[in-house]
Amino acid sequence: MSSEFQPTGASPLLDGVRVLVTGATSGIGLAMARALATAGATVAIGSRDRDRARAAAAGLPAPDGRAFGVALDVRDDGRVAAGVAEVVALAGGLDVLVNNAGLGMRTVNPNFMTDPQPFWQVSPDAFRDLLATNLTGYFLTARAVVPHFLDQGRGRIVNISMNHETMRRRGFVPYGPSRAGAESLSHIMAADLQGTNITVNMLLPGGATLTGMIPDEADGQVRSRLLNPEVMAAPIRWLCSPQAEGVSGERIVATEFDGWLAARMAAGG
């Protein structure tokens, strides 16, 4: 990250910071990409579909060359390696990985909100497919970027997670276990990377969020209780800023971010 990079208040400028956000063509991924681009970061959007990635990047509030899309299938280690290499080449390096690509319960059970499906009725293929994205995908993408971070002597990983209640919720196999596994993976990553100047943190919305993972038939009352994906904007900007230098192993809830940050600052963190 550039030595000229300076924070300004609660929305730090991110000039010189290069960020890859996986699964950022919609939902909270796109909201985070937009927040980062607005703050001046160079943002790469990773998606299995290159055209969708490029279209999403074109819609970001960023000058030419400061936002771009790449093909990156987090389920395939070869495609992950190629996607990360393309990001590094186009951006001139990489400072932050935001592991966000994921599938929701809708892909396993379209009626999960009204008709929870017990685990023994989940097909093995559906279980494997979701974990391949939500858990193995985090591992493969982090595995691909860490050697680059080690070479440059710094880097940050932010793994997007979900409420603990969701991990234990009835009818939430395999989504719940995939997010629980990603949290365990995050803690181990942070421990393995101690002393390397590479940090690993978790970020979660703090409740169900209005994204494409919500069934179309969900009524207006249900939708009115859902969080806006923009809730992720302030904490992801902070995690990519100099203010978060050296912060690792944290689990940050977006809806509680202001209080969390105030308490940290009061404690001298």
What are the residue numbers of the active site? 175
Please say whether the beta carbons of 208 and 214 come within 8 A.
yes
The DSSP element (H or E) to which 158 belongs, if any, is strand 155-160
Please say whether the beta carbons of 52 and 25 come within 8 A.
yes
Residue 94 φ then ψ, to 5°: -150, 135
User: Two tokens at 182?
Assistant: 């990603």
Give, to the nearest 10 degrees, the angle between helix 175-192 and helix 136-152: 20
Three-state SS letters, 163-204:
CHHHHCCCCCCCHHHHHHHHHHHHHHHHHHCCCCCEEEEEEE
